[in-house]
Structure 1
Amino acid sequence: MTQINTLVLCMDTPLKSSELARFRGAVNAVISSHNILFHNHNGQYFRYAYPLIQYKCLAGKAAIVAIGEGVVAMEELFAGTDFSIRLGKRTIALQIESIKAEEVKVSQSIVPIVYQLFDWLPFNEANYEHFVSISRMAERVELLERILTGNILSLFKGLDVFIGFPLHIEIVHYVQKTPVVYKGVKLMRFDVSFMANVLLPNYIGLGRHSSVGAGLLIRKNNNIQY
């Protein structure tokens, strides 16, 4: 397989990034099949592969991004709900603002493609300790590039996409942001600009907690504001 299909469902519903986990739970509450792709666990088992349905905050509004098999699963959302959800103490009637479909053929790009990655959470405990122990900026960038390369390869593996060329990633700029707390754990996050020799889909997530908005990937020529 060398093609990745995505579907971006944007709602006319204001949403804060801090509400994304609740938004995911609210959407799952109205899906009768309890399809594991919508939440990555079914009460007994966890799905540890790359998340194929992801919950985003795009331009301050709620959105759902489906990838690969997740695109087909989205039919259950359209068929199984009147688009009314319970978000905390609020009952919200979701209104679709736009639907964007994209087919990306994964192939080597001769000219590097520039991307921006927002609120990326790259570290587990081991590589976090390694990162803070490094004093030289160039070595820190090299570590981040290795982790980002691994994130992209994990995306390909989760979608059964195989590339026949070496993946080359170059981080050109990064900003370390204030840490975010997820389930009581403080995580270091970054905004990153990088170049890659492969075309990737817009709006997908990379890195930890990508199912709930972290690591939002945007090709730089997009005009949506974040």
Structure 2
Amino acid sequence: MAQFSILSIQPQNLPYRTPQQWRSWLNDLTEWQHDLLHNHKEEGGEHYRYPMVQYRHNGFCGINEGGTLLMALLPLLLAETQLSMDMQREEIQMLTQPKQYRIINWQPFHAENYQIWQETNGIIERIDLLQNILTGHILGFCRSVGFEIPDKSLKVKLIGSLKEVGYKKFSTQNADLWRLTFDVLFEANIQLPQGIGLGKGVSKGKGILLHQISAPIKDTRVKPVSAVHKN
């Protein structure tokens, strides 16, 4: 078992902002001095680590050291706006029975595994690929908060319908690329906190994990996903 904290902050009297706009607002306010807020290295490039500060449509949240930093910035924030705050103590532990979850706007692919996805035609193979990627995302989050999962003990299974949300365009130094996103239901033999991000783009509001509390799923077969290719 591992315990950690999540501090959520919602500015109360500022105009609506997207996660990207909240990111810019907070970093402009702090003059881009804290790499936990933006994950960029001083010498250039990015830190390849799980983001400990994540931005949402209603504000931002900090996990462990990210929350500690946000607490230290409170005087600066309160000089700009009123705040609604919530501190949650969370824990991760393995379970004897699987628990159901939902992820919205999950972006599973980087360039290499997206190429594998495009070259994979069978639905079973595609589901296996997504399950393996999601397993890796969960393992990465757990490592970031100090919880090491015993080798091969984490079991992840996609359930119900696999909803393809669409493609999101993003730019790199070399080209404009497209990133495929999904809404998915899955079960896993681990207790995870609601509201964390998994996958690509989690610092900007993608891949939000929710506890599955809807009515029981009648059709537990994973349904095919259309193979759309962008040029």
Query: What TM-score results when the alignment is normalised by the length of structure 2?
Result: 0.80
Distance in structure 2 (CA, Å) of the matches to 1:119 and 1:33: 27
> In structure 1, what is the equivalent of residue 59 of structure 2?
63
42 and 129 in structure 1: CA distance in 2 versus 1, 3 angstrom threshold: closer
Shift of 1:105: 2.1
Which amino acid counterpart does residue 26 of structure 1 have in structure 2? W
SS across alignment from 2:60: strand
Query: What TM-score results when the alignment is normalised by the length of structure 1?
Result: 0.82
Equivalenced residue count is: 206
Q: 2:166 aligns with which of 164, 175, 178?
A: 178
10 and 202 in structure 1: CA distance in 2 versus 1, 3 angstrom threshold: farther
Q: Which runs of 5+ in 2 are unaligned?
A: 215-231
Residue 72 (structure 1) aligned with residue 59 (structure 2): no
Which amino acid counterpart does residue 106 of structure 1 have in structure 2? I
Identity of aligned residues (%): 27
Shift of 1:43: 3.8
Shift of 1:56: 0.9
Report if aligned partners of 1:104, 1:199 keep a CA contact under 8 Å in 2.
no
Q: 2:137 aligns with which of 151, 164, 167?
A: 151
> In structure 2, what is the equivalent of residue 49 of structure 1?
49
Residue 30 (structure 1) aligned with residue 29 (structure 2): yes
Distance in structure 2 (CA, Å) of the matches to 1:14 and 1:80: 18
SS across alignment from 1:114: strand
Which amino acid counterpart does residue 51 of structure 1 have in structure 2? P
Which amino acid counterpart does residue 50 of structure 2 have in structure 1? Y
CA deviation map 1:44-69 (0-9, x unaligned)? 25322110000012xxxx22121121
CA deviation map 1:102-143 (0-9, x unaligned)? 222221112211111011111112211211222221211110
CA deviation map 1:172-201 (0-9, x unaligned)? 132111201123321111111111111111
Matches within 5 A, 1:1-226: 2-12=2-12, 15=16, 19-31=18-30, 34-45=33-44, 46-57=46-57, 62-82=58-78, 84=80, 94-96=81-83, 98-164=84-150, 166-172=153-159, 173-183=161-171, 184-221=176-213
Shift of 1:146: 0.1
> In structure 1, what is the equivalent of residue 222 of structure 2?
none
The CA RMSD over aligned residues, in Å, is 2.2
